[in-house]
Amino acid sequence: MARILITSAIPYINGIKHLGNLVGSQLPADLYARFCRARGDEVMFICATDEHGTPAELAAAKAGKPVAEYCAEMHEVQKGLSDGFRLSFDKFGRSSSPQNRALTQYFAGRLADNGYIEEVSEKQVYSNADGRFLPDRYIEGTCPNCGYDKARGDQCENCTKQLDPTDLIDPRSAISGSTDLEVRETKHLYLRQSALKDRLDAWIDEKTDWPVLTTSIAKKWLHDGDGLQDRGITRDLDWGVPVKRGDADWPGMEGKVFYVWFDAPIEYIAATKEWADEKGLDDDAWQSWWRTDKGADDVRYVQFMGKDNVPFHTLSFPATIIGSGDPWKLVDYIKSFNYLNYDGGQFSTSQGRGVFMDQALDILPADYWRWWLLSHAPENSDSEFTWENFQASVNKDLADVLGNFASRVTKFCRSKFGEVVPEGGETGPREQALIADLSKRLDAYQTHMEAIDVRKASSELRAMWAAGNEYLQEAAPWSVFKEDEAAAAAIIRLSLNLIRLYGVLSAPFIPDASAEMLKAMNAEDAAWPKDIASALSALPAGQAFTVPENLFRKITDDERADWQSRFSGVRS
């Protein structure tokens, strides 16, 4: 039994995420976690809401709520949606937790002790009306490139040009609208990533099994241009982890907080401590996953994220871990994903273009979305969601192949033998050929799942479903029954065992339907198969079963057209 630590990118608190966000980290992480558990591994699957920073303050202000109250409410919303998609986190924490505050301040102190923190004076926009420094996103104005009058101080959303606040024409505070702005000098802390460049470079060179997407992005940040740059880790904000050096105050940093991208990855560790604290466990329980001097030397740590998060997880967070000088666990494997686009364009949170997690669950159960998203995961390149493809995949793979197989077998058995596994008859060459085929496919399926090749794994699973349909069609028990009831019973008995097998193997992808199949076969405790031959004789003759009612329904052309229209524009 292996020990597997799994983390998925932490979703930001300001709003409900779309399907592209889901398939870029949390969903494939859940797939892998479920697979590892099914195989008997000990798994710790961690995620959280990322609650600090400028967007949280702006979203709270827009909602007319205190930021702490807004974050607490949105955490519950996101937790509810993750439950709705059956994401099996061991802990879904909060980056605003006391545990994360203490650990973030601890890491900052250790980095300072080891000479990896530097105080830097820099110029920043100050709003006299608001009485505060303004982060870049708190400044709005007219874009000098395209003339868009609501460009932010970091980027123009209209033309996507990167900006500095001083580039804006007629800049104003996004909080009060005041134009009474001036540039003042302020001090901030910087993480000296450049001093750790060679150690990070050597560490990444060791990861020869990482996806090309992951290593290429990391290497680009390490070597392109002037190479890896030091990074500011503090901000002039009210909401966040107060800047301290461990338990001690940090002179000159009063009123400042740590930058969200410094404290957010530390929440992976903190959420594990949250898990232990909630269970009344001691520090060894969570440290055994994170500290190599406490047992984490035998842990395999796997991260899942979209490609935009790769630089922070291959460089900044490892720099924090290494620079602390403590024996913290570094990631072993980073599975990164490209982008999922939407129906000829891009998902847009601001415009509400595309399907968001709450909307998806309102129109169809989670398994429909899980299957399509995972079987079309953007692993080697960007992929695109289209309603035509979604309809075709659901109707063919789920309804026609898997659902239809379970329905035909159980209903035929009920009509001819009753709702029990029939006895009698012997298997023959056709069944042996099926066992041989499924054995090869099971090996391939497990290999792809172990390698986290999501689309290849889904392809093998689909092929195993199809093999059962082909067997049933060729064996034709409805015809055989007329001449030889015992031979028909043997075909149906093996087919009922196939339903049980599909329930076990499909659970990482479609957990609800899998649970229905296993419940129908009276086999809720079925274990991962050691071999196909024994799996296809696991249900004893005489065991009762029930007919699963319509595992998957088909999507109609009218529904497809309606949804395509509904999710093409701005949300009301």
Feature table: binding site for ATP: 349
CB of 319 closer than 8 Å to CB of 196: yes
Q: Roughly how many angstroms between the first and final C-alpha of the chain, as a whole number?
A: 50
Q: How far is CA 439 from CA 65, 527, 529, 533, 536, in A?
A: 57, 16, 10, 8, 11
Q: Which positions make up the binding site?
A: 143, 146, 156, 159, 349
Give bridge partners of residue 151 from the DSSP assignment: 141
- The helix/strand/coil state of 479 is helix
CA 480 to chain centre: 48
Can you give the three-state secondary structure of 350-388, one letter per residue? CCCECCEHHHHHHHCCHHHHHHHHHHCCCCCCCEEECHH
Tokens of 285: 């329980």
**Residue among 438, 404, 408, 409 nearest 539 (CA):** 409
Q: Using a CB cutoff of 8 Å and minimum separation of 24, what contacts does 440-443 make?
A: 441/467, 442/505, 442/529, 442/532
Give CA–CA dist 293/282, Å, rounded.
16
Give CA–CA dist 41/43, Å, rounded.
6
Q: Which positions make up the binding site for Zn(2+)?
A: 143, 146, 156, 159
Torsion sign (Cα): 401, 406, 408, 409: positive
What's the angle, vertex CA 86, arms to CA 82 and CA 91, rounded to 5? 60
Residue 485: CB atoms within 10 A of its CB come to 15
- Scan for tokens 């490209």, then name that residue: 338
- The helix/strand/coil state of 45 is strand
Give CA–CA dist 343/555, Å, rounded.
17
CB of 513 closer than 8 Å to CB of 465: no
